[in-house]
Structure 1
Amino acid sequence: MACPASYYDDNDPALVAASRPGDNSHALTITEISQALKRTVEDRFGFVRVRGELSGVKRAASGHLYCSLKDEKAVIDAVMWKGTTGRLAFKPEDGLEVIATGKLTTYPGRSKYQIVMESMEIAGEGALLALLEKTRQRLAAEGLFAPERKRPLPFAPKVIGVVTSPTGAVIRDILHRLRDRFPTHVIVWPVLVQGQGAASQVANAVRGFGALDADGAVPRPDLLIVARGGGSIEDLWSFNEEEVVRAIADSPIPVISAVGHETDTTLADHAADARAPTPTAAAEMAVPVRRELLGYLEDLSLRQKRAAWRPLEMGRERLAARAQRLPTPETLLQPARQRLDDLAERLRRGLTDRAGAGRERLAKVRFGPHLLGSNLRDAKRRFEQVRLAPALLTRAQADRQQRLAGLERILHQLDPEAPLARGYALVSAPGHRAISSRDVAAGQPVLTLKFADGTLDVATGGAKKPKPKPSAAKDSPPGQPKLL
């Protein structure tokens, strides 16, 4: 069967695809061509190093890292799997120039080619410094480096925590300097200070010291020193990581950063409460000099003694100066003595003048009969003026006699011997003016009976108890009824 002419005419489109005579190529599927392209690219570019600027950095929930590498004229997609991202020595950010090592491959789902990165490094020190400055500006905008966040260091810490490598020269320099200046209890938290995982260990050590209990088995430090020796910017990069910076800024314990030499500066230095140019200088900042402190204490003791004795000495000086200005006893008594002499002289003159005036008055008095007669007549006249009536004396005498007679009658009525004249007798005993039956019962042997015409002594023989009266029942004969 002959083929239609249109089959052999390339310009004549056919409705149904058909095979050409002698044509041994068949139509490939999209998957087949995609797989072919993938194998071709991976075989040709199985290992490449690409330099470019990171863009669109994004970390998926699965842990994979997706981004783009670009330069002035082209862009290539990049991916780094989760197991590889954990080995990165820095945090990828947009705008950072890096050198990525890996292989090219294709992604058939989107018809794109991409590089699968096995490692990623910062492209030169300039790019590293640019990343450092960018991180510094971002953390400074959060206030982590603000001066008001800085805390004063304790004057003489009892416990010092050191975060550094336990095998380097740094810890030996710090311990030696502390022993020379002020022996202090030091706790070392060993960490890596360079390489993979160093930043996480330093941050965990700072947080671990802050989480210690003040009364626990391991005492909580009063001061922290984060130290490392000198090196290049790559060697010190762990102390520029954001994780370390935030751990130092959030530490409840004051921190001294002693990373590198004096010319080296890291972000940890900005976040710490104090920066030391070297680890040895950090030890000097941490504690005072013991000898200087003892000398200062001795000086304070001397000043205290001088301060205590100075008021006493000044008081003595002021007392002596005032005592010198005080007048002597002779000076104080001189006015009194002068006044006494003046008064004595005035007394003497007064007595003399009074005696003279008395003599003058006495001389003027002339005693004579007429003077005495005149005085006698005056006395008689005053005596006559006093009239003494006899009734004044007799009335008072009569009143007193009447009161006396009344008392005499009362005395006669109360006299115990008055009834004797009427035949009564007064019973008494020796030593008693009067006696009762109880005294006789008590054994009084002799009684005295006093009568109107004399006395009589009698013997008592003791008092007898009165006999009881017989009852009416006993007096009546038996069998006789009672009358009452």
Structure 2
Amino acid sequence: MDILDEDSPGRNVPEFSVGEIAGVVKRLIEGELGYVRVRGEVGRVVRARSGHLYFDLKDERNVLSAMTWKGQVAGLDVIPEEGMEVIAEGKMTASGFQSKFSLNAVRVRVAGEGALMAMLEKRKKALAAEGLFDDARKQPLPYLPEVIGVVTSLQGAVIRDILHRLRDRFPRKVLVWPVAVQGSACAPEVTRAIAGFNALTPGGALPRPDLLIVARGGGSIEDLWGFNEESVARAAAASEIPLISAVGHETDTTLIDFVSDRRAPTPTAAAEMAVPVRLDLLGWVDGQGARLTTALTQGLSRRGERLRDLSRALPRIEALLESPRQRLDRVADRLPAALQAGVAHRRVVLERQAGRAQISTLKQRVQQESRALDSLSARLAPALTRAVDTKRQKLASLRLSARPLAQETARQRRDLQRLSQRFAEAGDRQMRVLRDRLDAVDRLRETLSYKATLERGYAVVRDGAGGVVTTKQAAESASGLEIEFTDGRVKLGGGKPGSKSSKSKPPEQGSLF
């Protein structure tokens, strides 16, 4: 028998293509399993450039691939992180391209409170290692902020409690940024609110707050989980505006509490931290004013007593003036004798000088002066002669240089003539320009003159004395009227027509009809 004719097991099994087998497997998995809920530990997590999220779910022996498409990521309550124990919900599917099956996770939540706490501790250690919890980086709160920004939900009693307590203690301006305080939208909205308040311009149309309060009421760890997200903690740590965290009750603790500048046990306590009590401040100011008044009064009193003590220690005016008065009396007694002695001494000196001035002495002095004059007279004639000779020589040298001087004079005369001609031409040009301007002004005067108005049909009315008539009453009381037209004047009331006058005086104030 031929080997091709031999019977072998399975010869009647139909053949399938690879694609057909992949399709059958996909239909079996999706049909049998459908929507499932899988619990496991998150392994490798990859966020693709396209926005899709890929991660692994594993237990002690097996690994299940899971993915969440870009449009589904925003609906996740928790973004998977490596090492987190979660419960993922979605539909099972298979990919024939790689012969793999996976879970399309549309919901992810942490499996139990213990897993949440473990993840929280992990985040706390990472942020603490970066120094975000250090007290050195925390900012002091302003003593009395002008504007307070509140990040919370508009529903609930939190915002009402904060506003009520601020109104009772010290009313301030409040800007509220409404956010979701639980669920998947909580973390991104709180992050944007903190960054938004910090992005406001100081002194702008919408004032930048001097203090921020992030507040929420109490709840379970799942309800408060949005404030444990790393994005919220980093936004609070990066805030340039001092921030008070008031999330949950006193026993609740979230990541934002560690990075904020101050933590309040309740939202009401946050409002109390934000502002002082106005009545207490007024009382303190009154007390300080009273203390200041008392201190000033006591100081003035002590200084008055000190002044009086010092005045008693000073000597009397009479005692101070006794010695100078005695010296003055002694000097006054000695003054007449001193004056007489001075006059006698000066008389002796004068007589001594007069004795020296005798006639013989004066004659000798005159003779000496005469001899000196004769000597100078003898020297004067030769000096004058020498001076005349010197001047004569200079005159002769000037006569020799007269020809170059005449040439220089001729040259300067020619230059003067050229300059005179240029001045004359410039004067003519200037006169032409001024004449043209004068003609233009005269034309403008003729255009604006009342004569041009007369040519358009108007007239000037004058009375018998030549004055301009401007009102009806003046016309009725005038003895005669004269009307000026463009070609002459006409007298009314028995007068003769006026002669043509092209140079009649224009009215200073008048009426044109």
Fold shared by both chains (TM-score > 0.5) = yes
Look up the SS of the partner of 1:196 in the other structure: coil
Q: Residue in 1 aligned with 2:103? A: 115
CA distance in 1, matches of 2:151, 2:268: 14
> How far off is 1:244 after superposition?
1.5
Between Structure 1 and Structure 2, which shows a larger proportion of helix residues? 2
Q: Is the 8 A contact 2:170 2:278 kept in 1?
A: yes
> How far off is 1:109 after superposition?
2.3
Over residues 396-418 of structure 1, what are the superposed CA-to-partner deviations in whole Å (9 max), with x where a residue is unaligned?
8xx9xxxxxxxxxxxxxxxxxxx
Q: Residue in 2 aligned with 1:225? A: 213
> How far off is 1:285 after superposition?
0.3
Query: Which of 247, 265, 274 is residue 262 of structure 2 equivalent to?
Result: 274
Look up the SS of the partner of 1:90 in the other structure: coil
Query: Which of 82, 90, 106 is residue 102 of structure 1 equivalent to?
Result: 90
> How far off is 1:5 after superposition?
5.3
Q: Is the 8 A contact 1:67 1:78 kept in 2?
A: yes
Q: Is the 8 A contact 1:255 1:273 kept in 2?
A: yes
> How far off is 1:311 after superposition?
2.5
> How far off is 1:51 after superposition?
0.7
Q: Is the 8 A contact 1:90 1:241 kept in 2?
A: no
Look up the SS of the partner of 1:194 in the other structure: coil
Matching of residue 8 in structure 1 with residue 12 in structure 2? no
Look up the SS of the partner of 1:87 in the other structure: coil
AA matched with 2:47: R
Query: Which of 161, 169, 183 is residue 195 of structure 1 equivalent to?
Result: 183
AA matched with 2:237: A
Over residues 279-312 of structure 1, what are the superposed CA-to-partner deviations in whole Å (9 max), with x where a residue is unaligned?
0000000000101101111122122223323332
Query: Which of 34, 53, 56 is residue 44 of structure 2 equivalent to?
Result: 56
User: Structure 1 pair 327/134, CA: closer, same or farther in 2 (3 Å)?
Assistant: closer
CA distance in 1, matches of 2:309, 2:207: 61
TM-score normalised by length of structure 2: 0.60
Q: Is the 8 A contact 2:133 2:259 kept in 1?
A: yes
Over residues 244-295 of structure 1, what are the superposed CA-to-partner deviations in whole Å (9 max), with x where a residue is unaligned?
2222122221111111111111111112111111000000000001011011
How high is the sequence identity, in percent, across the aligned residues? 55
Q: Residue in 1 aligned with 2:64? A: 76
Matching of residue 158 in structure 1 with residue 146 in structure 2? yes
CA distance in 2, matches of 1:94, 1:281: 37
Query: Which of 281, 291, 297 is residue 309 of structure 1 equivalent to?
Result: 297
> How far off is 1:26 after superposition?
2.0
AA matched with 2:34: G
Look up the SS of the partner of 2:253 in the other structure: coil
Aligned residues: 329
Matching of residue 87 in structure 1 with residue 85 in structure 2? no
CA distance in 2, matches of 1:194, 1:104: 29
Query: Which of 181, 198, 204 is residue 192 of structure 2 equivalent to?
Result: 204
Task: Specify every segment of 5 or more residues in structure 1 that has no aligned partner in the other structure, as ranges.
Answer: 12-18, 341-391, 400-484
CA distance in 2, matches of 1:73, 1:208: 47
- Alignment of structure 1 residues 408-427 onto 2, 5 Å: none
Matching of residue 214 in structure 1 with residue 202 in structure 2? yes
Q: Residue in 2 aligned with 1:32? A: 20
> How far off is 1:160 after superposition?
0.8
Over residues 214-243 of structure 1, what are the superposed CA-to-partner deviations in whole Å (9 max), with x where a residue is unaligned?
222221111111111111111111111122
Q: Is the 8 A contact 1:107 1:113 kept in 2?
A: yes
CA distance in 2, matches of 1:294, 1:5: 114
Asked which structure has the greater CA Rg, the reply is 1
CA distance in 2, matches of 1:82, 1:285: 43
> How far off is 1:6 after superposition?
6.2
Look up the SS of the partner of 1:57 in the other structure: strand
Matching of residue 295 in structure 1 with residue 293 in structure 2? no
Look up the SS of the partner of 1:130 in the other structure: helix
CA distance in 2, matches of 1:327, 1:63: 97
- Alignment of structure 1 residues 457-472 onto 2, 5 Å: none
> How far off is 1:10 after superposition?
4.4
Q: Is the 8 A contact 2:227 2:256 kept in 1?
A: yes
> How far off is 1:327 after superposition?
9.0
Look up the SS of the partner of 1:277 in the other structure: coil
TM-score normalised by length of structure 1: 0.63
> How far off is 1:94 after superposition?
0.3
Q: Residue in 2 aligned with 1:246? A: 234
AA matched with 1:81: W
AA matched with 1:4: D
CA distance in 1, matches of 2:66, 2:175: 45
